[in-house]
Amino acid sequence: MDLGVRQIRTAGKGSGSIELTLPGELRHLVGLRCRITLHDGEQPDIVLRPDVSEATASFARLWHALAAIFAHHRAKPDHETFPAGAFLFGLLPAPGQMSAPYLCWQDGLALAHARTDEAVVGRSVAACAAQLGSALGISGHLTPSFGAVCGFLASGRLLFADWQTPCDIVACELAGRAVWRPGDAWNAWRDTGEAGFWLLLEPGLAACADLFAAWSQPGSTYPALTAARRRGCSIAMNRG
């Protein structure tokens, strides 16, 4: 990613310090300790490596909370420690489904420093839930959709367009149950912290895990439900 050109400046005569104005895309790194590495030679490079250990710890805490909830209802996760190698990581949020669950360092830093909003929580829950899906008996091709629904329950928001179909289907399936209250969990996080958040989110997570595990069996109704939802959207658009 080319972030343009900036000029190195001195912070003041004799101070010994220098300044570099970073692009706006990196504003979330303000205050982070960075390791500075010089690759000398014909084309020297100066590399800034931020310390993201706090973000990793925040993701691990969230993953363990989800794993504990699912362990009560279906199965224990395949790992006892946070499986960082099972995720893709990037500095900025990535739209759409990826080849593996995706965690954003920006979100992890927000979680670590109490700068959390519903988008941060929704994206992070979706990625961790998708990674845990296989231990719950959910087929690999359904784990992104499972994660999307969990992220929607956590945040109350459809953060990506490809969350729409699975969330609509699950909403219809759970319409008659008291567990479908998207957004309530996030309001609890905002008002009372994580304890209330997980308490309100647990019934919805358990119901979603049951649904997607059933849809992972041969002859499941999920393909038909997906096709029906798409036909319904097409009819509505044509009528409009």
**What mean pLDDT, rounded, does the chain reach?**
85
Residue type, 44: P
Handedness of CA 207, 120, 64, 195 (dihedral sign): negative
CA-atom Rg of the chain in angstroms:
21
Phi, psi at 8, each rounded to 5°: -75, 135
Q: Is the pLDDT of residue 74 over 80?
A: no
Give the model's confidence band at 234: pLDDT under 50 very low, under 70 low, under 90 confident, else very high. very low
Residue 78: predicted pLDDT: 65
Q: Are 58 and 123 a contacting pair, CB within 8 Å? A: no
What is the tens place of the pLDDT at every residue in 147-183? 999 999 999 999 998 899 999 999 888 877 777 677 7
Query: For a pLDDT cut of 70, what percent of the chain falls above it?
Result: 88
Higher pLDDT, 176 or 185: 185
Q: In which residue are the tokens 């959390």 written?
A: 116
Residues with Cβ within 8 Å of residue 202, at least 6 apart in sequence: 69, 72
The secondary structure of residue 78, as a DSSP letter, is: S
74 burial (CB, 10 Å; 0-12 / 13-18 / 19+) is: middle
Query: Residue range 16-35: average pLDDT?
Result: 77
Higher pLDDT, 33 or 61: 61
Q: State the Cα–Cα distance between residues 150 and 209, nearest whole angstrom.
A: 9
